[in-house]
Amino acid sequence: MVFATNLIGDILSYEALADSEIRLMDIDEHRLEQTTEVAEAMVDNEDLDAAIESTTDRREALDGADYVLNMINVGGTEPFENEIRIPEKYGIEQAIGDTTGPGGVFRGLRTIPEMLDIARDMEELCPDALLMNYTNPMAIVCKAVYEATDIEVVGLCHSVPHTVEAIAEYVDVPTDELDYWVAGINHMAFFLEAEHDGESVYPQLREAYHDEETYRKDTVRFEMLRHFGLFPTESSHHMSEYVPYFRTDEDVVEELTGTDYAERMATATYLEGWKERSAERDSSELDVDLDEVGVDRSEEYAARLIHSLETGTPRRFNLNVRNDDGAITNLPNDACVEVPVFADGSGLHRCSVGELPTAVAALDQQHTAVYELAVEGALEGDRSKVHKAIKLDPLSSAACTLEELHEMTEELIEANREYLPALEFPESERTAIPTTADD
């Protein structure tokens, strides 16, 4: 409800969009009712011409839409917990487990069927609408939609603007004065340039590495800067599960504990917090003074992107899109990449980044292979490709043997059986190691 009402407030904050028809859709009637109450209060209190409609019928919501903003979660608490706890038994200590690693792959597998249903409804009911996706795992979900449907999809993520704020703090410059050029994949893009008044701030960032107080705020990212030369876009906590260096040795975990990182470095604390928040939202009454609700603008991309497309106002965003025409030339053309994209009245225009530096490209290439295998496994019902995706994951392969990863993947498939019907095959075959090599 909080995130949805933020996005609604963003849209209504623009005069050119303030008469929009906004349709809210959820399968959870309790949360839908709460969100609708807040949205209607915004319109009434600000005396706007917008219309708020709500429904539990997805097709009704999509019919004739110009933009579709997606933020679904498939399955709720139980599968999410399985995707953390089962790998944990095998020594794989995920930090969040929603976009990478075994958790990310399996969240992708159970989300893809629902995403394709949404996109296919869009093909029938609003074929020219732009699908703006917030659901993780971002790269896997977006790739599945553009591989299997004709819907234009972009992925929106907070990591780049949040990292801009962090870098600005570390080098002591105003956030809105930091110029940057960022590219890679979601949660693993890199600041290829970061400048203030035309001068690179990388020398100050490298100096900040040696300041203990600053270093402790972002230990993993400073280590990535030290060893690979560029600053990545995801928090130290989350970044630690994208690479094999930081989560497999207790001494390293202890050494890299920082002020913004300490308790969250422990396994599955994100999961427990998510469960608590979810339970509170399901059981609570609306804790908002509706008479005080107004329209405020957050830092989210969605409304700015819509405003640019509707009014022709040019803006640049970092979006998750297909790597068409080699926006990043040393990543696969069909990969989902996070690159600068210009938006104006004529549409979306990917920027040409060229080659990423070899070292960071290699880090991204390994994940794009994992995502490709996961999507192909989902779309083709190919169990062997799911196995290979997990075995290529950097954190998993650092923690387990191939046989352990095989056993763990089978256990995860079984735990997610109701969400993965395409991967079912006879009981006698389930423990056999897949042997297909034609991918």
CATH number at residue 131: 3.40.50.720
Residue 147 lies inside a defined structural domain of this protein: yes
User: Tell me: the pLDDT tens digits for 377-422?
Assistant: 999 999 999 999 999 999 999 999 999 999 999 999 999 988 988 7
**Backbone torsions φ then ψ of 200, nearest 5 degrees:** -65, 140
CB contact set of 261 (below 8 Å; sequence gap of 6+): 216, 217, 218, 219, 220, 236, 237
Q: How many distinct structural domains can be found in the chain?
A: 1
Q: What share of the chain is helix, strand, coil (3-state, %, to 5)?
A: 55, 15, 30
Give Cα 389 distance to the centre of its chain.
18
- Which H/E stretch holds residue 127? none
Q: Distance between alpha carbon 337 and the CA centroid of its chain, in Å?
A: 12
- Is pLDDT of 276 > 90? no
Q: Are the C-beta atoms of residues 46 and 38 closer than 8 Å to each other?
A: no
Looking at every residue in the chain, the average pLDDT score rounds to 91
Indicate whether 272 pLDDT > 90: no
- DSSP state at residue 131: E
Cα–Cα distance between 245 and 258 in angstroms, integer?
16
Q: Of the given ranges (78-82, 177-181, 332-336, 344-348), which has the lowest mean pLDDT?
A: 78-82
Known catalytic membership, residue 387: no
For residues 289-315, average pLDDT: 92
Q: Answer whether residue 259 shows pLDDT above 60.
A: no
Residues of the chain with pLDDT > 70: what percent?
92
Cross-strand pairs, 180 = 194
The answer to whether 240 and 96 have CB atoms below 8 angstroms apart is no
β-strand 51-55 against 21-25: which pairing, if any? Answer: parallel
253 in any annotated domain: no
On whether residue 20 sits in a domain, the answer given is yes
Tell me what pLDDT residue 250 has.
84
How many other C-beta atoms can be found within 10 angstroms of the C-beta atom of residue 392?
A: 19
Asked if residue 164 belongs to a domain, the reply is: no
Other CB atoms within 10 Å distance of the CB of residue 27 = 10
CA 437 to chain centre: 30
Cα separation, 196 vs 40, in Å, equals: 42
Residue 141 maps to a domain: yes
3-state secondary structure 274-288: HHHHHHHHHHCCCCC
The C-alpha atoms of residue 36 and residue 222 are separated, in whole angstroms, by: 43
- CA–CA–CA angle 258, 263, 266 (5° rounding): 110
Q: Which of 30, 158, 162, 367 is catalytic?
A: 158
Residue-level pLDDT at 270: 65
- Does residue 419 contact residue 109 with C-beta atoms inside 8 Å? yes
pLDDT score at 135: 96
Average pLDDT over residues 135-142: 97
* Rg, C-alpha atoms of the chain: 22
pLDDT at 432 over 80: no
Domain annotation covers residue 227: no
Q: At what angle do helices 358-380 and 219-228 cross, to 10 degrees?
A: 120
Q: Report yes or no on 100 lying in a domain.
A: yes
Boundaries of domain holding 125: 2-157
Q: Which two structure tokens, joined as six digits, stand for 234? A: 């995801």
User: What is the pTM (predicted TM-score) of this model?
Assistant: 0.92
**Which H or E run includes 305?**
helix 302-311
Pick from 80, 145, 70, 84: which is nearest to 371 by CA? 145
Within a domain: residue 183?
no
